[in-house]
Amino acid sequence: MTMIQNSKKMQGVPEPTLRRMPCYLAFAEGLLRKGQQFVSSTQIANYMNIDPTQVTKDLSYTSIVGKTRVGYEVKAIVDVLSDFLGFSVMDSAFLVGAGSLGSALLHDNGLTHFGLNIVAAFDISPITIGRKINDIEVFHIDQFRDLAQELSVVMGIITVPAENAQTVADLMVAWGIKAIWNFTPARIKVPEDIIVQNTSLYSNLAIIFNKLHTEKN
């Protein structure tokens, strides 16, 4: 199942539920490693610090069914959630901007665990072009077009300076990328059928600072 087919399966699932699901998965993977066969919604809820009814509701969007008194089969949570979230199939991505953040993402082997394979990176800096970062080659951005046609790549990751984000997004759309993971603070404009996810560590930091400073007062 491709990322696009998978996103259709997940249609109608509230975003907070989708955000919790990878945590359920990680928790179940941990239990599986310890040899635990069943887990109750209460146990999951305690780990997540939420209400057990929320866990039941979240898992009801999937085909996972709990058994009276024993709870959910841990292996089923791992298998079904990995598949549901699209982590069990590999989608390919290009990364543009192999600088500080881009390199860190290229080094993150965890992405493959979650079904994302970065097959090539692009940059404009002569220092970076031609290098391999964690075995992923960095090409000049001008080679994007040819490689996009050659490799079936569905996702583009943008880690360039904010002022260049739109140019890179336009290039991605022009050469068939279906989803963009935008790490820049710029808000890019793309056609409606292109999926865009903006991610910022700094937004989370702002929340932490806000809570820290509020508690102080």
Ligand X SMILES: NC(=O)c1ccc[n+]([C@@H]2O[C@H](COP(=O)([O-])OP(=O)(O)OC[C@H]3O[C@@H](n4cnc5c(N)ncnc54)[C@H](O)[C@@H]3O)[C@@H](O)[C@H]2O)c1
Q: By CB under 6 A, name the binding residues for ligand X.
A: 96-102, 122-125, 128, 141, 159-162, 164, 167-168, 183-185, 199-202
Rank residues 65 and 151 by Cβ distance to ligand X and give the closer one. 151
Residue 201 Cβ vs ligand X, minimum distance, rounded to whole Å: 3
Residue 116 Cβ vs ligand X, minimum distance, rounded to whole Å: 16
Rank residues 80 and 120 by Cβ distance to ligand X and give the closer one. 120
Most distant CA atoms of the chain, gap in Å: 62
Q: Is 171 annotated as a binding residue?
A: no
Angle at 158 (CA atoms; ends 27, 200), nearest 5 degrees = 50
Residue pair 98/120 in contact (Cβ under 8 Å)? The answer is: no
Residue 191 Cβ vs ligand X, minimum distance, rounded to whole Å: 20
Residue type, 182: N
Q: Is 99 annotated as a binding residue?
A: yes
Stated length of the chain? 217
Rank residues 82 and 103 by Cβ distance to ligand X and give the closer one. 103
Residue position matching structure tokens 């809570």? 211
Residue pair 103/84 in contact (Cβ under 8 Å)? The answer is: no
- Binding-site members for NAD(+) are 97-102
